[in-house]
Amino acid sequence: MNAYDLARALHVLAVIAWMAGLLYLPRLYIYHVKATPGGEMDQTFQTMERKLLKLIMNPSMIAAWIFGLWLFWLRSGSGADWSFAHQPWMIAKIAGVLFLTGWHQYLGMARKRFAAGTNQRSERYWRKTNELPFIAAIVMVLSVTLEWTF
Protein backbone atom coordinates (compact mmCIF):
# COMPACT_ATOMS: atom_id res chain seq x y z
CA MET A 1 0.00 0.00 0.00
CA ASN A 2 1.25 3.45 -0.86
CA ALA A 3 0.25 6.87 0.46
CA TYR A 4 -2.03 7.62 -2.50
CA ASP A 5 -4.04 4.42 -2.02
CA LEU A 6 -4.34 5.10 1.72
CA ALA A 7 -5.44 8.71 1.15
CA ARG A 8 -7.97 7.59 -1.47
CA ALA A 9 -9.45 4.90 0.80
CA LEU A 10 -9.75 7.26 3.76
CA HIS A 11 -11.24 9.97 1.52
CA VAL A 12 -13.88 7.59 0.14
CA LEU A 13 -14.84 6.43 3.65
CA ALA A 14 -15.14 10.01 4.90
CA VAL A 15 -17.23 11.00 1.87
CA ILE A 16 -19.58 8.04 2.41
CA ALA A 17 -20.25 9.14 5.99
CA TRP A 18 -20.63 12.79 4.97
CA MET A 19 -23.02 11.98 2.13
CA ALA A 20 -25.12 9.79 4.42
CA GLY A 21 -25.61 12.78 6.70
CA LEU A 22 -26.23 15.21 3.83
CA LEU A 23 -28.99 12.92 2.57
CA TYR A 24 -30.48 12.01 5.96
CA LEU A 25 -30.61 15.42 7.70
CA PRO A 26 -33.10 16.94 5.21
CA ARG A 27 -35.18 13.76 5.60
CA LEU A 28 -35.34 14.48 9.34
CA TYR A 29 -36.38 18.04 8.53
CA ILE A 30 -39.26 16.72 6.38
CA TYR A 31 -40.72 15.01 9.45
CA HIS A 32 -39.64 17.70 11.90
CA VAL A 33 -41.80 20.27 10.07
CA LYS A 34 -44.88 18.33 11.25
CA ALA A 35 -43.84 18.32 14.93
CA THR A 36 -45.44 20.72 17.37
CA PRO A 37 -42.83 23.31 18.47
CA GLY A 38 -41.74 22.55 22.03
CA GLY A 39 -43.41 19.15 21.97
CA GLU A 40 -41.85 15.76 22.59
CA MET A 41 -41.32 15.00 18.88
CA ASP A 42 -39.79 18.44 18.34
CA GLN A 43 -37.29 17.74 21.11
CA THR A 44 -36.57 14.25 19.74
CA PHE A 45 -35.92 15.60 16.24
CA GLN A 46 -33.72 18.38 17.63
CA THR A 47 -31.60 15.80 19.47
CA MET A 48 -31.33 13.56 16.41
CA GLU A 49 -30.44 16.46 14.12
CA ARG A 50 -27.86 17.94 16.50
CA LYS A 51 -26.12 14.59 17.04
CA LEU A 52 -26.12 13.75 13.33
CA LEU A 53 -24.56 17.11 12.51
CA LYS A 54 -22.05 17.30 15.37
CA LEU A 55 -21.01 13.65 15.69
CA ILE A 56 -21.13 12.40 12.11
CA MET A 57 -21.46 15.13 9.51
CA ASN A 58 -18.98 17.72 10.81
CA PRO A 59 -16.15 15.24 11.51
CA SER A 60 -16.67 13.39 8.23
CA MET A 61 -16.73 16.65 6.23
CA ILE A 62 -13.47 17.72 7.87
CA ALA A 63 -11.94 14.30 7.18
CA ALA A 64 -13.14 14.36 3.54
CA TRP A 65 -11.50 17.78 3.10
CA ILE A 66 -8.25 16.70 4.76
CA PHE A 67 -7.92 13.47 2.78
CA GLY A 68 -9.06 15.20 -0.42
CA LEU A 69 -6.39 17.87 -0.02
CA TRP A 70 -3.84 15.16 0.71
CA LEU A 71 -4.87 13.38 -2.51
CA PHE A 72 -4.59 16.67 -4.40
CA TRP A 73 -1.07 17.19 -3.04
CA LEU A 74 -0.01 13.60 -3.77
CA ARG A 75 -1.41 13.78 -7.31
CA SER A 76 0.56 16.95 -7.92
CA GLY A 77 3.77 15.09 -7.15
CA SER A 78 4.11 16.78 -3.76
CA GLY A 79 3.41 20.20 -5.21
CA ALA A 80 5.56 19.89 -8.34
CA ASP A 81 2.88 19.68 -11.08
CA TRP A 82 -0.52 21.36 -10.71
CA SER A 83 -1.54 20.97 -14.38
CA PHE A 84 -4.33 18.50 -13.55
CA ALA A 85 -6.01 21.15 -11.39
CA HIS A 86 -7.09 23.03 -14.52
CA GLN A 87 -8.73 20.02 -16.16
CA PRO A 88 -12.54 20.19 -16.51
CA TRP A 89 -13.04 17.05 -14.42
CA MET A 90 -11.11 18.58 -11.51
CA ILE A 91 -12.95 21.89 -11.82
CA ALA A 92 -16.26 19.96 -11.70
CA LYS A 93 -15.04 18.08 -8.63
CA ILE A 94 -13.95 21.27 -6.85
CA ALA A 95 -17.25 22.98 -7.71
CA GLY A 96 -19.12 19.98 -6.30
CA VAL A 97 -17.08 19.99 -3.10
CA LEU A 98 -17.74 23.70 -2.63
CA PHE A 99 -21.46 23.15 -3.24
CA LEU A 100 -21.61 20.26 -0.74
CA THR A 101 -19.72 22.31 1.85
CA GLY A 102 -22.10 25.24 1.37
CA TRP A 103 -25.12 22.91 1.54
CA HIS A 104 -23.73 21.41 4.75
CA GLN A 105 -23.48 24.90 6.25
CA TYR A 106 -27.00 25.72 5.08
CA LEU A 107 -28.35 22.56 6.73
CA GLY A 108 -26.55 23.54 9.94
CA MET A 109 -28.23 26.96 9.89
CA ALA A 110 -31.59 25.29 9.26
CA ARG A 111 -31.04 23.09 12.33
CA LYS A 112 -30.53 26.21 14.41
CA ARG A 113 -33.79 27.66 13.04
CA PHE A 114 -35.64 24.47 13.98
CA ALA A 115 -34.11 24.62 17.47
CA ALA A 116 -35.18 28.26 17.85
CA GLY A 117 -38.68 27.49 16.56
CA THR A 118 -38.23 29.85 13.61
CA ASN A 119 -38.18 27.38 10.70
CA GLN A 120 -39.92 28.90 7.66
CA ARG A 121 -39.33 26.03 5.21
CA SER A 122 -42.10 23.61 4.31
CA GLU A 123 -42.11 19.85 4.09
CA ARG A 124 -42.35 20.26 0.31
CA TYR A 125 -39.22 22.44 0.24
CA TRP A 126 -37.19 19.82 2.11
CA ARG A 127 -38.52 17.05 -0.13
CA LYS A 128 -37.51 18.98 -3.27
CA THR A 129 -34.02 19.84 -2.03
CA ASN A 130 -33.28 16.48 -0.39
CA GLU A 131 -31.66 15.03 -3.51
CA LEU A 132 -29.33 17.95 -4.30
CA PRO A 133 -26.27 16.33 -2.65
CA PHE A 134 -26.80 13.11 -4.58
CA ILE A 135 -27.08 14.96 -7.89
CA ALA A 136 -23.82 16.76 -7.07
CA ALA A 137 -22.22 13.42 -6.15
CA ILE A 138 -23.25 11.88 -9.48
CA VAL A 139 -21.64 14.73 -11.41
CA MET A 140 -18.49 14.61 -9.26
CA VAL A 141 -18.00 10.84 -9.42
CA LEU A 142 -18.60 10.68 -13.17
CA SER A 143 -16.34 13.64 -13.85
CA VAL A 144 -13.47 12.17 -11.80
CA THR A 145 -13.79 8.54 -12.89
CA LEU A 146 -14.23 9.39 -16.56
CA GLU A 147 -11.90 12.42 -16.39
CA TRP A 148 -14.34 14.42 -18.48
CA THR A 149 -12.83 16.94 -20.81
CA PHE A 150 -16.12 18.61 -21.86
pLDDT in tens, 106-117: 999 999 999 999
Q: Which residues contact 120 (CB under 8 A, 6 or more apart)?
A: 113
The pTM of the full predicted model, rounded to 2 decimals, is: 0.92
85-95: pLDDT as tens digits:
888 999 999 99
- Would residue 3 be called left, alpha or beta, if left means φ above 0 and alpha means ψ between -120 and 50 degrees? alpha
123-141: pLDDT as tens digits:
999 999 999 999 999 999 9
Helix or strand (DSSP H, E) at 28: helix 3-32
Q: How far apart are CA 12 and CA 33, in angstroms?
A: 32
Nearest CA to 97 out of 113, 85, 82 is that of: 85
Q: How far apart are CA 13 and CA 60, in angstroms?
A: 9
